[in-house]
Amino acid sequence: MNGPALVLQGLRKTYKGHLSLTSREVIRGLDLTVEPGEVFGLLGQNGAGKTTTLKLILSLIFPDAGVIRLFGEESSRVAVRSRIGFLPENPFFYDYLTGREFLDFYGQLFGFDRAARQARAAAILDRVGMASRADLPLRKYSKGMLQRIGMAQALLNDPDLVILDEPMSGLDPIGRREFRDIILELKGRGKTVFFSSHILSDAEAICDRIGILKDGRLARCGRLPELLPPDVRSWEVAFAGPAWETLAARGARAERISTRGSETLVKVAGPAELEGLLDALRSAGARLIAVTPRRDTLEDLYLREVGGR
Amino acid sequence: MRKTLAIAANTFREAIRDRILYLLLAFAILMMGASRILSLLTVGAEEKIVKDIGLASLSLFGVATAIFVGVGLVFKEIERRTVYTLVSKPISRSQFILGKYVGLVMVLAVNLSIMTGVFYALLLWKGWMDAGITRAVVLIFVELLLVTAIAIFFSSFSTPILSSLFTVTVYVIGHLSWGLLLLGDRIQGAAGKALCRVLYHVLPNLDALNVKGLVVHGDPVPAARMLHASLYGVSYTVVVLGLAVLVFRKRDFL
C-alpha cells in the first residue's frame, strides 16, 4: 500500500444548468482522508452530495477544483481502478446477459484470462449467494438479486478499496445481514471500504469512522466513540400505577413518551430530575418497572447535525 | 485492445439479442424480393431494376441500422447507468467508445453479409452476377463505417433524437455535396462562396463512395477509384472517431 486509500482535498463540483441561474454547487470544498483498512461511512440527507462524491472519486464526473488521490495516485489514472471495486445505488446491468456472462464480461475488462475469470466468477457468485441463479438472464432478477450481483462485480477483482453507494438499499433483512458480514470480512482481510448510507443502524454497526455530509461539506467526521461520548445524557423510566398527570401534579419533571394500559414511559433529562421523579413515584405508590440510561446514538448526532429535529 | 474487443463483443451480443435487428433484416430481404416482382412489370430493363433496388436496399437498411442503433449506443449506457460500473473498471474512455463502435461495425458487417448473400443468390439464379456488384458492396460497407462514426460522434454529446437528426442531415448533404460547389459558383457574395467551399471540404463527400450508378449500367469501376474512395472513407472515419473520443473524454456521467 502506498499512502492513504483515499484523499480528497478542496473538492468542488458545480452541476451546470443551461442558464447560470440553474447551476448548483453540490460539493463545496470537501476534505477527507481514508486510511487503508478502514470502514468509512459517508452519511447525509438525500441531495447532500454523497453520490456526487462517489462519482467524483470514480472519475465518472470531473471536479471543478480539488485533488482526488487513490493509494497516492491521481484518480483519473486508468491503472489505479484495477484496485477499486464499485457498487452504484440501485444498480442496473445489461439485462440480456446472464449473471455468469455478466461477470465474465467484466472479468475481461480487468484483463483476466478465461480460467481466472471462471474461477473468480464461481467463487464470488457463491459468496453473494447467487450461485443457483447464475445462469438466469439479469432481466429476470429481483431488486435484491441485482444488488447481490452488483456486489459480485464490485468484488470481482479482489479490490483494495471497495466503494459502495447505499449498499443496503433494496435488500431484505437477511440480505442486509449478509452484506454486513461481507463488509466486515473485507475489513478483516485488510481491505478499505468506503460507503454512503442513510441507514444509520448499519453504519453504526460496521463503521470505524463516519462523516456527515451537509451542503457539500463535511459537517462532522471522526471515530464513533469520539463522536458519541459514553456519558449518559438522559434516562428512560417505565412504571405502572398512577397516571402521569398525578405525578406531574406532585412536581415530577419529565417528558412522557408513551402510555400503554397502566404502564407509562417517560424521559428524564438529568440526575436531579430523576431523583425527583423516583420520590414522586414512591410517594404515589407506583410500581417501578425499569430505569434505562440513554447515551447518544448515531441517530441523535445525525439529527443534530443535519437539523432534522 | 483486448478490453476494447470485450466491449465490442458485448455490444454485438446486445444487438443480436434485440429483435429490431431481425425485423430490419427481414424487411430488406423482402424489398429485394419485391424488386424481382417490380422488374416483371418493365420490359427489357429487368436486370437494371433488380440490381438498382437490391443495392439501394443494402445501402439504405445498412445506413438506417448504423444511425438508429449508433445514436442510442452510448446514450443507453448512460441512461440505464450501466456506464457507472463499466467506466469504473480499468478501461479508458477511448476504449469504451471504440469498443462500442467496433461492436456496431461487427453487427453491420454481419447484417450486410446476410443481405448480400441473399442478393447474390438472386443474381446468380438469374445469371446477372458480375464483379462490379462486389465493388459496390465494399464501398457501401465503407460508407457504413463512416456513417456509424458520425452517429457515435453526435451521440457523444447530444440526445439520440438530435443525434439522428444531425446524422441524417450530414448523410443527405454528404450525398448532395456536389451541389455545394454548384451553389458556390452561382452565389454572389464572397462570404457565401467561401462558406460553400468550406462546407464542401468539411462535410463528407459520400457520393465518392457511391458507384451504384456505374454498376447498374454495367460500366466498370476502376481499381484506382476503389482505392481512392476507400482511403477517403476510412481516413474520414478515423478523424471523426478521434473527435468523438476527445469530446467523450471530458464528459460527466450524471
**Single-letter amino acid, residue A121:** A
Length reported for chain B: 254
pTM: 0.87
Q: Tell me what ipTM this predicted complex has.
A: 0.85
Report the DSSP pairing between strands A287-295 and A263-268.
unpaired
Query: Percent helix, strand and coil across chain A, each rounded to 5?
Result: 40, 30, 30
Q: What's the distance, Cα to Cα, between the start and end of chain A in Å?
A: 42
Distance separating alpha carbons of residues B59 and B216, to the nearest angstrom? 14
**pLDDT of the residue at A253:** 85
Residue type, A229: P
Give the minimum alpha-carbon distance from B126 to chain A in angstroms, rounded to a whole number: 42
Q: Which of A41-45, A296-300, B12-16 has the lowest mean pLDDT?
A: A296-300
- How distant is the alpha carbon of residue A221 from its chain centre? 13
pLDDT for residue A308: 57
Does the structure show a pLDDT above 70 at A20?
Answer: no
CB contact under 8 A, B90 and A62: no
* Cβ–Cβ gap B252/A106 under 8 Å: no
Return all residues near B55 (Cβ < 8 A) that are at least 6 apart: B119, B133, B136, B137, B140, B212, B215, B216
Do residue B86 and residue A109 have CB atoms under 8 angstroms apart? yes
Chain A interface mutation, best of B16, B20, B84, highest count of A Cβ atoms under 10 Å? B84
CB A44 within 8 A of CB A212: yes
pLDDT in tens, B32-68: 778 777 777 777 778 888 888 889 989 999 999 999 8
Contact list, B14 vs chain A (CB under 8 Å): 94, 96
Question: Which of B81, B91, B254 is the closest to A92 by Cβ?
Answer: B81
Q: Which residues of A touch B94 (CB under 8 A)?
A: none
- Using CB atoms within 10 Å of the CB of residue B44, give its burial: 0 to 12 exposed, 13 to 18 middle, 19+ buried: exposed
The whole-number pLDDT of residue B31 equals 78
**Residue of A94, A138, A149 to mutate, testing the B interface (most B Cβ within 10 Å of its Cβ):** A94
**Contact assignment for A97 to B13 by CB distance below 8 Å:** yes
Q: Look at residue B171 and tell me whether its pLDDT is greater than 90.
A: yes
Which chain B residues are Cβ-neighbours of A79 within 8 angstroms? 90
CB contact under 8 A, A86 and B253: no
Chain A nearest-CA distance from B203, in A, is 28
- At how many degrees (to 10) do helices B2-16 and B93-126 cross? 50
pLDDT average, residue stretch A242-262: 84
Q: Where are the alpha helices (DSSP H) in chain B?
A: 2-16, 19-40, 46-79, 82-87, 93-126, 131-155, 160-175, 178-186, 190-202, 212-216, 223-249
Nearest to B88 among A62, A86, A94 (CB): A86
Task: Give the residues across from A15 on adjacent strands.
Answer: A24
The beta-carbon neighbor of A82 closest among B7, B90, B253 is: B90
Lowest-pLDDT range of A115-119, B165-169, B195-199: B195-199
Quick check: B154 and B244 in contact, CB under 8 A? no
Q: What was the pLDDT predicted at B142?
A: 96
pLDDT value of residue B4: 95
Q: What is the pLDDT of residue A303?
A: 85
The per-residue pLDDT of chain A, averaged, comes to 89
Contact in structure between B105 and B192 (CB atoms under 8 Å): no
Select the residue of B80, B253, B254 nearest A92 (Cβ to Cβ).
Answer: B80
A81 and B80: CB-CB below 8 Å?
Answer: no
Flag if A111 and B90 touch (Cβ within 8 Å). Answer: yes
pLDDT band at B24, cuts 50/70/90?
confident
A61 to chain B: which residues are within 8 Å by CB? 252-254
Of A108, A150, A154, the CB nearest to B3: A108
Residue to mutate among B89, B91, B92, with most A CBs inside 10 A, is B89
Q: Which residues of A touch B17 (CB under 8 A)?
A: 96
Question: What's the mean pLDDT in B249-254?
Answer: 85
Q: Taking 60 as the threshold, does the pLDDT of residue A1 lie above it? A: no
Q: Is the pLDDT of residue A204 over 90?
A: no
Paired residues of A43 in beta bridges: A197, A212
Q: Which residues pair with A98 in a beta bridge?
A: A137
Q: Which of residues 65-84 of A touch B (CB under 8 A)?
A: 78-82, 84
Please tell me which residue, A172 or B18, carries the higher pLDDT value: A172
Please say whether the beta carbons of A82 and A224 come within 8 A: no
Percent of chain B with pLDDT over 90: 43
- Is residue B209 within 8 A of residue B62, CB to CB? The reply is no
At A295, give phi and psi (nearest 5°). -105, 165
- Determine the pLDDT at residue A309: 45
Nearest to A94 among B3, B10, B250 (CB): B10
pLDDT score at A74: 92
**A59 touches B: beta carbon within 8 Å:** yes
Q: What sign results for the dihedral spanned by CA atoms B186, B189, B195, B198?
A: positive
Average pLDDT over residues B99-112: 94
Distance CA B242, CA A57 (A): 26
Pairing assessment for the beta strands A232-240 and A263-268 based on DSSP bridges: antiparallel
How many Å lie between the alpha carbon of B75 and the closest alpha carbon of chain A? 14
Burial per residue of B97-129, b for 16 or more beta-carbon CB atoms within 10 angstroms, e otherwise: bbbbbbbbbbbbeebbeebbebbeebbeeeebb
Would you call A150 an interface residue with chain B, using a CB distance cutoff of 8 Å? yes
DSSP letter for each residue of B12-78: HHHHHT-HHHHHHHHHHHHHHHHHHHHHHTSSS-HHHHHHHHHHHHHHHHHHHHHHHHHHHHHHHHH
List residues of B whose CB lies inside 8 A of any A CB: 2-3, 6-7, 9-10, 13-14, 17-18, 80-92, 250, 252-254
Instruction: Taking residues A271-298, report their average pLDDT.
Output: 87
pLDDT tens digits, one per residue of A129-169: 999 999 999 999 998 899 999 999 999 999 999 999 999 88
Distance from CA of A154 to the nearest CA of B (A): 8
Q: Where are the beta strands (DSSP E) in A16-57?
A: 24-34, 39-44
